[in-house]
Structure 1
Amino acid sequence: MMKLHAAPLTALSFSCLFVLLLSILTVGFDDRLQADDPPLSLLKTALQQEQKPEEMKSLRVRAGAPFKIALFADLHFGENAWTDWGPQQDVNSVKVMSSVLDDESPDFVIYLGDVITANNIPIANASLYWDEAISPTRARGIPWASIFGNHDDAPFEWPLAWFSSPGIPPIHCPAPNASSCSGERYCSFGGTRRIELMKKEIENNLLTLSKTGPKDLWPSISNYVLQLSSSDDPESPVLFMYFFDSGGGSYPEVISNAQAEWFQHVSEEINPDSRY
Structure 2
Amino acid sequence: MGTYLIRPIILLIYLLTLALLCQCITTFESDDGAENHNEARESVELRTPPEKYLELQPDSSFKIAVFADLHFGEDAWTDWGPKQDVNSLKVMSTILDRESPDFVIYLGDVITANNVAIPNASLYWEQAISPTKARGIPWASVFGNHDDAPFEWPIEWFSATGVPQLHCADKSSSYSGEEDCSFKGTPRLQLMKNEIEQNALSFSKFGPRDLWPSVSNYVLRLSSSDDPEKPVAFLYFLDSGGGSYPEIISSAQADWFKHKSQEINPDSSIPEIMFWHIPSTAYKKVAPMLYIWKPCVGSINKESVAAQEAEMGIMDLLVKRPSVKAVFVGHNHGLDWCCPYNKLWLCYARHTGYGGYGNWPRGARILEITRQPFSLKSWIRMEDGKSHSEVILSS
- TM-score of the pair, normalised by structure 2: 0.50
Aligned equivalent of 1:121: 116
Match of residue 229, structure 1, among 223, 231, 238? 223
- What is the alpha-carbon distance in structure 2 between the residues aligned to residue 122 and residue 166 of structure 1? 19
Secondary structure class of the residue paired with 1:240: strand
Aligned to 1:138: 133
Q: CA deviation at 1:99?
A: 0.8
Aligned partners of 2:222 and 2:233 also within 8 Å:
yes
Residue-by-residue CA offset, 1:127-176 (whole Å, 9 max, x unaligned): 0000000000000000000000000000010023303569569xxxxxxx
Distance in structure 2 (CA, Å) of the matches to 1:247 and 1:270: 25
Partner of 1:184: none
**Match for 1:158: what amino acid?**
W
2:204 is matched with 210
User: What TM-score do the two structures reach when normalised by structure 1?
Assistant: 0.71
Partner residue in 2 for 1:70: 65
Query: Using the alignment, how far apart are the partners of 1:105 and 1:116 within structure 2?
Result: 24
CA contact (8 A) 2:119 2:183 kept: no
Determine the structure 2 residue equivalent to 1:181.
none
Tell me the residue number matched to 1:264: 258
2:240 corresponds to? 246
Tell me how far apart the structure 2 counterparts of residues 247 and 274 of structure 1 sit (CA, whole Å). Answer: 27
Residues 244 and 227 (structure 1), Cα distance of their counterparts in 2 relative to 1, 3 Å cut:
same
Check conservation: 2:107, 2:141, Cα contact below 8 A: yes
Instruction: Give distance in 2, aligned partners of 1:235 and 1:55.
Output: 16
> Among the aligned pairs, what percent are the same residue?
73
Q: How does 1:7-86 map to 2 (within 5 A)?
A: 57-86=52-81
Q: Which amino acid aligns with 1:230?
A: S
Instruction: Answer yes or no: is the 8 Å Cα contact 2:57–2:226 preserved in 1.
Output: no
**CA deviation after TM superposition for structure 1 residue 240, in Å:** 0.1
Deviations 1:15-47 (A, max 9, x none): xxxxxxxxxxxxxxxxxxxxxxxxxxxxxxxxx
**Partners in 2 of 1:268 and 1:221 — Cα distance?**
21
Any conservation in 2 of the 1:224–1:243 contact (CA below 8 Å)?
A: yes
Any idea what the Cα deviations from partners look like across 1:85-129, whole Å, max 9, x if unmatched? Answer: 111110011111011011100000000000000001111110000
Match for 1:149 among 144, 150, 172? 144
**Which residue of 191, 197, 210 corresponds with 2:191?**
197
Shift of residue 270, structure 1, vs aligned partner: 0.3
Partner of 2:5: none
What SS class does the counterpart of residue 235 from structure 1 fall into?
strand
Q: Report the alpha carbon displacement of residue 235 of structure 1 after superposing the two structures with TM.
A: 1.1
2:306 aligns to what? none
C-alpha contact (below 8 Å) 1:56/1:207 kept by paired residues:
no
Aligned residue for 1:236, secondary structure, equals strand
CA contact (8 A) 1:79 1:121 kept: yes
Q: Secondary structure at the match of 1:254?
A: coil
Structure 1 unaligned residues grouped into runs of 5+? 1-52, 170-187
Letter in 2 for 1:203: E
Distance, in Å, in 1 between the alignment partners of 2:269 and 2:136 is 31
Which of the pair has the greater relative contact order for Cα pairs under 8 Å at 6+ separation? 1
Counterpart of 1:228, as a letter, is: L
- Farther off after superposition, 54-63 or 200-209: 54-63
Deviation string, structure 1 residues 64-104 (Cα, Å, up to 9, x no partner): 11110000000000111111111111001111101101110
Contact residue 56 and residue 206 of structure 1 kept, 8 A: no
Aligned counterpart, 1:87: 82
Q: Secondary structure at the match of 1:153?
A: coil
Alignment-mate amino acid for residue 104 of structure 2: V
Change (3 A) 1:252 1:205: same
Cα deviation digits, residues 186-211 of structure 1 (max 9, x gap): xx952100000000000000000000
